[in-house]
Structure 1
Amino acid sequence: MKRLIKTLTLSIVSTYAFADSELPDKQAEIPAVSKSSSVEYLKPRSLDTIPDTEFGEKVELGYSLFVNSQQMRGKYVGNEQNCVNCHMQAGMKANAAPLWGAFMAYPAYRSKNDKVNSYAERIQGCFTYSMNGKAPNENSEELVAIAAYSYWLAMGGILDQHGMGDQPVPELSDQEILQGGKREGFKLPDSIVDLYPVDERSKLAGRGYPKLADPEQKPDLTRGKLVYTENCAVCHGENGEGIKGSDGRSYLPPLWGAGSYNWGAGMHRVNTAAYFIYENMPLGKSIQLTEQQAWDVAAFVNSHERPQDPRFKGDVKANAGKYHNHDGFYGKSVNGKTMGDHAYPSGEQVIK
């Protein structure tokens, strides 16, 4: 654990590149299904069981970068977010988009960019959109580390769930880890491999945010502002600016403005935000709001300007028509202003 704590202060130095000439849409909507009260969720192993090996060092670094992503600020991260802001309890919590669920869901075909995406490519999308940054290249230390941490959470939890807690997590090559667990070549113990058909691995219980029924009333910004003021502002600021410490670091994330997720991030969708908020907010409490309140406050939060969609090419209307045919405010008028017309710089401008 001493080494684990030490990694939290590592200075990360490496190069980045994003190969695609035209930025594809790699920020898919997180899958949402109805929550079941009878399901057994996968439970990752304790961090103090990470092995004292070269592989273990990658896992520890992945954990460190995940919970304190601001280590990568100015390289790969262009806002004041940390990965853990949307993936609760260091990416371990069921029903909060856990890393173990995501790892087992890739590689996966994506219709929007018409190709099979590796797990590494999925993480790259998170850097581009949710972190308003630039994607690390596939062989970078950081990307490998986050993928290794995801794999360790998934495989350790699977082994424990099936009575194999005495077995260490098999140490895979970087290239195997970067692909993800939804593939024929991914090695599972012979005794349980039949329990995890490849096509079913993306359906681990608790993978996404539990789906809510459509609201009885259309989400309302006035009601949403009241919910925000009474329940959210204490942690996220009266103007969505988040809470910073004396060191200037953002300890509770901004929800709109220059330091927030951008207009391409999955969380800017009103439904995704509502699912997340209802299940996971206020922090540490969960399910304190009514479903209608969750819808209302999600709409209120996402009706504010934020960094520009990285796919923007100068025409908000055209960009909205191509990429925003969902429940969101991009390209729509709010209080007489077209959202996206006054957006803050995207990561391409923030990180040179």
Structure 2
Amino acid sequence: MARIIGRIALVISGAVLAIVLVVVGVSRSDQATTAFEAGAVTAAGFSPPEESEIPEGPLGDAIIRGKAIFDNPGVNAAAYVGNSMACSNCHLDSGRRAGSSPMWAAWGNYPQYRNKNKSINTMEDRIMGCFRYSMNAPASASGVPPPAGSDIYRDLQTYFHWLATGAPTGKDVVGSGYPALEMTSAGYDPQRGAPLYDQYCSGCHGPEGQGAIKPDGTVVYPPLWGKESYNWGAGMARVDLAARFIKANMPFDNPGTLTSQDAWDIAAFVDSQERPRDPRQTGSIEDNAKRSFAGQETFYGKIVDGHQLGSGGNDAR
């Protein structure tokens, strides 16, 4: 065990903390915390293996490298990362936490058809998309995600496969994905979300959503909008997905205590800010909105404070 921990310490240059929307209050009596109970998503029907169980030899080395990439791609896959995001920002506890789309659940559900690109996606395809959108590879040194067959994918998939040791294949496991969250009768409103963000989130993510980054590039708190955040093509740019993540996982040390309404409104505020350009856009924003965002809960292409969202740049860092 000591040898394994030592190897992990050598490989991982810094821990990447998850997206944290710090909430210092509790649920207000006039807003029900429907569909969730605090801590409910931490109970899953499966438990991934512990780090102490990483095997010896080349397989264990690949698992350790994969975890290091997952936790800190800006350092361990730097040529393909164009922002200050990490996989573990949205898949908490290094992809282990139930209710935050854990990797042990995702592994057994690929290959699968994805409407986003109208094709059957392998796990490698899915990871490639995460680099393209969530890590904004178009603004990276290479300008693209890692090429097909890269050892980056090999190591990440080895890590995911190990996390899924003993998990069922092709079946939904309790704790997979982000828990469903019904739309409230009041809908969502970025104007309601603005003071909530100031009160609960800005202490960690900054008043301008810039996050907190160490000089060596290690992400302490990820940026939630702007050029260092995920681009418009990322799943978290969808208000409904962001609301589900926030409701189930924030605050980080006491998940599930935000009201449903607050989760929707905070998500609306965050996702109504400008962020890097959608890589799929080849023509006008209007055309791309119809082609890539039809039927989605998104602010892409909408006018907010006199500005059409989606017109942000995507220049190399």
- TM-score higher than 0.5: yes
Local SS of the residue matching 1:203: coil
Partner residue, 1:269: 238
Identify the residue that residue 98 of structure 2 maps to in structure 1: 94
> Take 1:296 and 1:147, find their aligned partners in 2: how far apart are those partners?
35
Secondary structure (helix, strand or coil) at the match of 2:247 reads: helix
Q: Which amino acid aligns with 1:306?
A: R
Q: Is the Cα–Cα contact under 8 Å of residues 59 and 148 in structure 1 kept in the other structure?
A: yes
C-alpha deviations, 1:5-52, integer Å up to 9, x for none? 111149xxxxxxxxxxxxxxxxxxxxxxx7796974211111111011
Note if 1:335 corresponds to 2:301.
no
Are the counterparts in 1 of residues 71 and 88 from structure 2 also a CA contact under 8 Å? yes
Q: Percent identity?
A: 39
* Structure showing greater relative contact order (alpha-carbon pairs closer than 8 Å, 6 or more residues apart): 2
Distance 1:202 1:269 in 2: 25
Q: 1:152 to 1:35 in 2, by over 3 A?
A: farther
Deviation at 1:204, TM superposition (A): 1.7
The residue type paired with residue 203 of structure 1 is: D
Q: Given the alignment of the two structures, is residue 57 of structure 1 paired with residue 61 of structure 2, yes or no?
A: yes
Aligned equivalents of 1:110 and 1:218: distance in 2? 27
1:263 is paired with a residue whose SS is coil
Query: Residue 241 of structure 1 contacts residue 259 of structure 1 at CA under 8 Å; is this kept in 2?
Result: yes
CA distance in 2, matches of 1:113, 1:316: 18
- Give the Å deviation of 1:75: 1.1
Corresponding residue to 1:302 among 271, 287, 291: 271
Paired AA for residue 305 in structure 2: N
- Structure 1: how far apart are the matches of 2:219 and 2:281? 27
What count of residue pairs does the alignment treat as equivalent? Answer: 283
Residue 350 (structure 1) aligned with residue 316 (structure 2): yes
How much has 1:145 moved relative to structure 2? 0.6
Corresponding residue number in structure 1 for 2:153: 143
Aligned counterpart, 2:80: 76
Q: Measure how far apart 1:312 and its partner are.
A: 1.0
Instruction: Structure 1: state its 5+ residue gaps.
Output: 11-33, 159-195
1:254 aligns with 2:223: yes
State the shift of 1:73 in Å.
Answer: 5.8
Q: Which amino acid aligns with 1:217?
A: A
Contact (CA 8 Å) 1:63, 1:90: kept in 2 or not? yes
- Give 1:218 shift: 2.1
- Kindly state the Cα deviation for residue 319 of structure 1 after the two structures are TM-superposed: 0.6
Query: How far apart are the structure 1 equivalents of 2:266 and 2:282?
Result: 30
**Residue aligned with 2:80, SS:** coil
Which runs of 4 or more aligned residues in structure 1 lie more than 4 Å from their structure 2 counterparts after TM superposition? 34-40
Q: Which amino acid aligns with 2:316?
A: V
DSSP 3-state at the match of 1:104? helix
Give the match for residue 104 of structure 1: 108
Q: Distance in 2 between matches of 1:294 and 1:76?
A: 31
The CA deviation string for residues 86-114 of structure 1, in whole angstroms up to 9 with x for no partner, is 00011000100101111111011234434
SS at 2:164 equivalent: helix
Q: Which amino acid aligns with 2:155?
A: A
Distance in 1, Cα, partners of 2:70 & 2:218: 15
Measured against aligned partners, the alpha-carbon deviations of 1:264-288 in whole angstroms (never above 9, x if no partner) come to 0000000000000011112222122
8 Å CA contact 1:99–1:150 kept in 2: the answer is yes
The aligned counterpart of 2:184 is 215
Change (3 A) 1:35 1:118: farther
Residue type of the partner of 2:51? L
Structure 2: runs of 5 or more not aligned: 15-34, 138-143
The TM-score normalised by the length of structure 1 is 0.76
Of residues 191, 203, 218 in structure 1, which corresponds to 2:172?
203
Q: What is the aligned partner in structure 1 of residue 125 from structure 2?
A: 121
Query: 1:72 Cα deviation (Å)?
Result: 4.2
Query: What's 1:131 paired with?
Result: 135
**Amino acid aligned to 2:204:** C
Structure 2 distance, partners of 1:145, 1:35, is: 35
Q: How does 1:151-166 map to 2 (within 5 A)?
A: 151-155=161-165, 157-158=166-167
Show the counterpart of 1:317: 286
> Which residue of the other structure, out of 239, 249, 257, is the alignment partner of 1:280?
249
Cα distance between partner residues in 2 of 1:248 and 1:149: 23
Q: 1:225: which partner in 2?
A: 194
Q: Is the 8 A contact 1:73 1:79 kept in 2?
A: no
Secondary structure at 1:251 match in 2 = strand
Say which is worse superposed, 129-138 or 296-305, in terms of deviation: 129-138
